[in-house]
């Protein structure tokens, strides 16, 4: 099975730092900003972005985790009910600018589900999207506001993001699907 | 997971952990302003209740509605059943209407099993005769795990009319499966003769058991069954086995008091005992919705083969 490393640890770190700067620039600071990471790796990335934002701006932004399983459009199309992760948004998102954070942007269906989930928590002033890797092949009219790396891929390849918090290393791989 | 939930024997210890974990996510959904997710949009859940039950039916109804499923409540009074329709014909009718899940409560033990022969959807046992009530056992396990954090080696006493209690059966099987140490407590006439085969202990003296347990689970005295004289009188039962204020003093600190409801205050539990902070009946009710959401989601959320891409 072929596997090519797309990003190493240092490159991920630089991408996160750059995205943190871009988020602050676009939103003219960190006031009324909240980060919501999509489980399972988006929430780790959201925490890293929050640390970077705190380092740059000296302000702590709220970080939440969102599981989109119950909002998927393919429930019942799989053999097993999809695995469920934790959702934890213990702050008010009404009137806030919510930056959704995910590891890979692909079909756009996860983000569609995440936006549906998010509006059940309140009415944000704006929703923006930050992703570590945009691999193309969108099936919905969705684009990212902040991208770590644009990576043209074939549809039959997998993009696998490994993060120290869950996988013990920082790396992004493009893998041949077995 | 099996397609149906008929008995605790249908689920493995790993399944139970998964059901409880998913229920935890649904507990979170229950704390939101909008307590509803679209997971089972377009699915139909039928509540088929041949026996009166307000709390279990409402709990299942709310669970299905919070998953965005369509719910039909089919009770026996004033329906085709009152006109003499058989279970089979009712089942075939519901089948023809496209029910994805049927939640059945019936006074005959084993009727949920029979139902599975006639319908294509999932069947969930909401209590069948004196056989089982698996969703009650699972919500009790959830409550115990949430409060005490473990099952292994946990000492649980199930007190009262074990003989007629489907709750006691399901809960004993589930707790034993998870490694807990279960003692059935009650008058000899109300302890099933085959109880030792369940892997549980038996005691006829509640005062001897109370100091050695982490959970005191009280069963409802089923007054409707008292005609058969299993105990001399309800008052004598209350004196010998009721959880009074004095008996609560025998419990170790931190022990939970549980009851599946509806309670007979002053019989199996004193009124002021039911209102103590260690009595977690309200939590049991709240957790019941999350457990039933979890079960409906796990049973109906799967479906046809074939992977769909992530992203």
Distance CA B116, CA B122 (A): 8
Q: Which residue ranges make up each domain of chain A?
A: 10-74+82-154
Is B102 in the same domain as B161? no
Range of the domain at B25: 8-133+286-300
- Indicate which CATH number applies to the domain containing B101: 3.40.50.1370
CB pairs under 8 A between A and B: 86
B2 within domain boundaries: no
Is B120 in the same domain as B191? no
Nearest CB to B39; choose among A75, A86, A108: A75
DSSP SS3 for B96: helix
Radius of gyration for chain A, computed over Cα atoms and rounded to the nearest angstrom: 16
Distance CA B101, CA B4 (A): 9
Verify whether the Cβ–Cβ distance B25 to A76 is below 8 Å.
Answer: no
Verify whether the Cβ–Cβ distance A79 to B304 is below 8 Å.
Answer: yes
B125 within domain boundaries: yes
Is B69 in the same domain as B144? no
B39 within domain boundaries: yes
Answer whether B96 touches A (CB < 8 Å): no
Residue A9 near residue A131, CB atoms below 8 Å: no
Tell how many helices (H) and how many strands (E) occur in chain B: 11, 9
- pLDDT single digits (tens) A114-136: 999 999 999 999 999 999 999 99
Q: Before B262, cis peptide (omega within 30)?
A: yes
**Segment B283-291 mean pLDDT:** 97
For residue A79, which residues of chain B lie inside 8 Å, CB to CB? Answer: 302-306
DSSP SS3 for B36: coil
Answer whether B29 touches A (CB < 8 Å): yes
Verify whether the Cβ–Cβ distance B306 to A78 is below 8 Å.
Answer: yes
B306 within domain boundaries: no
Nearest CB to A80; choose among B28, B302, B308: B302
Verify whether the Cβ–Cβ distance B302 to A110 is below 8 Å.
Answer: no
For residue A137, which residues of chain B lie inside 8 Å, CB to CB? Answer: 311
Residue A43 near residue A130, CB atoms below 8 Å: no
Residues 15-34, chain A: which have Cβ within 8 Å of B? none
Q: How close B49 comes to chain A (CA, Å)?
A: 26
- Residues whose CB falls within 8 Å of the CB of residue B139, separated by 6 or more in sequence, listed in order: B284, B287, B288, B290, B291, B292
Minimal-distance CA residue of chain B relative to A67: B25
Confidence (pLDDT) at B70:
96
Verify whether the Cβ–Cβ distance A79 to B302 is below 8 Å.
Answer: yes
Give the number of domains in chain B: 2
Q: How confident is the model at residue B301 (pLDDT cuts 50, 70, 90)?
A: confident
Q: Which residue has the higher pLDDT, B306 or A90?
A: A90
- pLDDT single digits (tens) B193-248: 999 899 999 999 999 999 999 999 999 988 776 667 788 888 899 999 999 999 99
Assembly ipTM:
0.85
Q: How close B190 comes to chain A (CA, Å)?
A: 41
B151 within domain boundaries: yes
> Which of A38, A66, A69, A75 best tests the B interface by mutation, with the highest count of B CBs <10 A?
A75
Is B170 in the same domain as B235? yes
Answer whether A88 touches B (CB < 8 Å): yes
- Topology classification of domain A10-74+82-154: Rossmann fold (3.40.50)
Is B184 in the same domain as B115? no
Is B210 in the same domain as B292? no
- pLDDT single digits (tens) B99-110: 999 999 999 999
Is B192 in the same domain as B294? no
CA neighbor of B13 nearest in space, from B168, B138, B140, B194 = B138
Answer whether B2 touches A (CB < 8 Å): no
- Residues whose CB falls within 8 Å of the CB of residue A158, separated by 6 or more in sequence, listed in order: A174, A175, A176, A177
Confidence (pLDDT) at B78:
61
DSSP SS3 for B257: strand
Verify whether the Cβ–Cβ distance A135 to B311 is below 8 Å.
Answer: yes
Is B228 in the same domain as B268? yes
B1 within domain boundaries: no
Is B120 in the same domain as B159? no
Is B158 in the same domain as B177? yes
CA neighbor of B59 nearest in space, from B303, B296, B263 = B296
Is B101 in the same domain as B208? no
Is B160 in the same domain as B179? yes
For residue A105, which residues of chain B lie inside 8 Å, CB to CB? Answer: 311
């Amino acid at each position: 099975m072929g596997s090519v490393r797309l990003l190493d640890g240092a490159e991920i770190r630089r991408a996160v730092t750059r995205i943190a700067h871009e988020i602050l620039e676009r939103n003219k600071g960190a006031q009324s900003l909240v980060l919501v990471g999509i489980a399972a790796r988006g929430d780790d990335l959201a925490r890293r972005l929050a640390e970077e934002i705190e380092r740059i701006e000296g302000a702590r932004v709220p970080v939440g985790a969102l599981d989109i399983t119950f909002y998927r459009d393919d429930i019942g199309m799989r053999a097993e009910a999809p695995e469920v992760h934790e959702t934890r948004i213990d702050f008010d998102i009404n009137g806030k600018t919510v930056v959704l954070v995910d590891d890979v942007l692909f079909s756009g269906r996860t983000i569609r589900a995440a936006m549906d989930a998010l509006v059940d928590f309140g009415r944000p002033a704006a929703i923006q999207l930050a992703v570590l890797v945009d691999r193309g092949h969108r099936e919905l009219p969705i684009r990212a506001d902040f991208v770590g790396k644009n990576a043209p891929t074939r549809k039959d390849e997998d993009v696998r993001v490994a993060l120290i918090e869950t996988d013990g290393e920082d790396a992004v791989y493009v893998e041949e699907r077995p | 997971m099996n397609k149906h939930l008929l008995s605790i024997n249908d689920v493995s210890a790993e399944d139970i952990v998964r059901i409880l974990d998913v229920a935890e996510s649904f507990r979170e959904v229950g704390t939101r302003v909008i307590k509803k997710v679209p997971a089972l949009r377009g699915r139909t859940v039928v509540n088929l209740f041949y026996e009166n039950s307000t709390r279990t039916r409402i709990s299942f109804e709310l669970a299905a509605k919070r998953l965005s499923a369509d719910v039909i409540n089919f009770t026996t009074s004033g329906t085709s059943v009152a006109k003499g329709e058989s279970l089979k014909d009712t089942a075939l009718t519901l089948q023809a209407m496209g029910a994805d899940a049927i939640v059945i409560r019936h006074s005959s033990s084993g009727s949920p099993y029979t139902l599975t022969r006639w319908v294509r959807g999932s069947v969930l046992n909401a209590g069948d005769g004196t056989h089982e009530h698996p969703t009650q056992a699972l919500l009790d396990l959830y409550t115990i795990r949430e409060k005490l954090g473990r099952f292994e080696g946990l000492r649980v006493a199930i007190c009262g009319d074990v003989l007629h209690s489907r709750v006691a059966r399901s809960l004993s099987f589930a707790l034993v499966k998870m490694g807990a140490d279960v003692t059935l407590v009650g008058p000899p006439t109300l302890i099933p003769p085959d109880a030792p085969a369940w892997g549980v202990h038996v005691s006829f003296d509640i005062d001897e058991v109370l100091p050695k347990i982490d959970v005191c689970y009280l069963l409802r005295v089923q007054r409707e069954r008292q005609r058969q004289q299993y105990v001399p009188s309800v008052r004598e039962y209350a004196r010998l086995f009721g959880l009074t204020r004095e008996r609560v003093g025998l419990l170790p600190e931190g022990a939970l008091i549980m009851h599946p409801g509806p309670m007979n205050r002053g019989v199996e539990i004193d009124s002021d005992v039911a209102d103590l902070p260690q009595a977690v009946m309200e939590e049991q009710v709240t957790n019941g919705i999350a457990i039933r959401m979890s079960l409906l989601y796990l049973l109906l959320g799967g479906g046809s083969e074939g992977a769909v891409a992530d992203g």
